[in-house]
A = this chain, B = another copy of it.
Amino acid sequence: MIILQVFEQAKAGAAAAGLTERQGAVLERALGLLVEGGERALTTAGVARAANCSKESLYKWFGDRDGLISAMITYQAGKVRTVEVSAGALTAETLRKHLLAFARDLIDVLSGDVSLALNRLAIGQASREGAGLGRLLQERGRRQISRRAAALLEAGRKAKLLAFDGADEAYGTLYGLIVSDMHLRMLLGENAAALKNEFSPRAEKAVDAFLTLYGAKG
């Protein structure tokens, strides 16, 4: 079973990024500003005011605004842990359950408002400044979840319940079946909760479709 746990306390993310608790709290407020008002609301003065700290401290801790943003990403990523509970012997039924849990977790992660805000921020910066933040977000955020999925798929293949050549390609198919254009529409501003309610029931069908495509026959 794959579980995504989100620790809401500042401690977890801060500790994961090697920051003090105070700095984590500041990043938490910064994330709040970003979620609430987008990139325009993420000003150094605004963060300082919201977090009751001085701009001087912000620059001492994070270097500059980009450093602050990078710290926000790694801090947020540190709050999300993917914990794999060894599943013992996979059966067709447990595999399906695990895939379904993964699908729901994936939808939850993608539709989270902090995740959406950070993705919007990174996408906005992608054009003007290489792909620095994009890579960071990809590496610290989704790579983990995709690795867990890859492990699950591999276990399914080992148990002769799945048949595929490339694990990456199979994962891409699973992802596409689950997410479709949901993520993009959320990023473009469509009501995230409504879209989540629209796509969550489809998770089951997506998993069934995936098993139809990649399930070992017999």
Residues of chain A whose beta carbon lies under 8 Å from any beta carbon of chain B: 34, 37-41, 117, 119-120, 122-128, 130-135, 137-138, 169, 172-173, 175-181, 183-185, 187-190, 202, 205-206, 209, 212-213
Q: Decide if the interface of chain A is mainly helix, strand, loop or mixed.
A: helix
24 contacts between A and B (CB under 8 A): A34-B127, A37-B128, A38-B126, A40-B128, A120-B123, A122-B188, A122-B189, A123-B187, A124-B124, A126-B188, A126-B189, A127-B189, A130-B189, A131-B188, A134-B189, A134-B190, A135-B188, A169-B202, A172-B180, A176-B177, A176-B206, A187-B187, A212-B213, A213-B213
In the assembled complex, the Cα of A122 lies from the Cα of B130 at a distance in Å of: 19
The reply to whether B128 and A39 form a contact with Cβ atoms under 8 Å apart is yes
Please give, as numbers and ranges, the residues of chain B lying within 8 Å of A40 by CB-CB distance: 128
CA distance A24 to B181 in the complex (A): 31
Check if B175 sits within 8 Å of A180, measured CB to CB.
yes
Contact A177 to B175, CB < 8 A, known contacts A135-B189, A212-B212, A213-B213 = no
In this complex, which of A38, A40, A188 has the most chain B Cβ atoms within 10 angstroms of its Cβ?
A188
Please report the C-alpha to C-alpha distance between residue A123 and residue B183 in the assembled complex, in whole angstroms: 11
B37 engages A127 (CB within 8 Å): yes
For A181, the chain B residues whose CB sits under 8 A away are 172, 175-176, 179
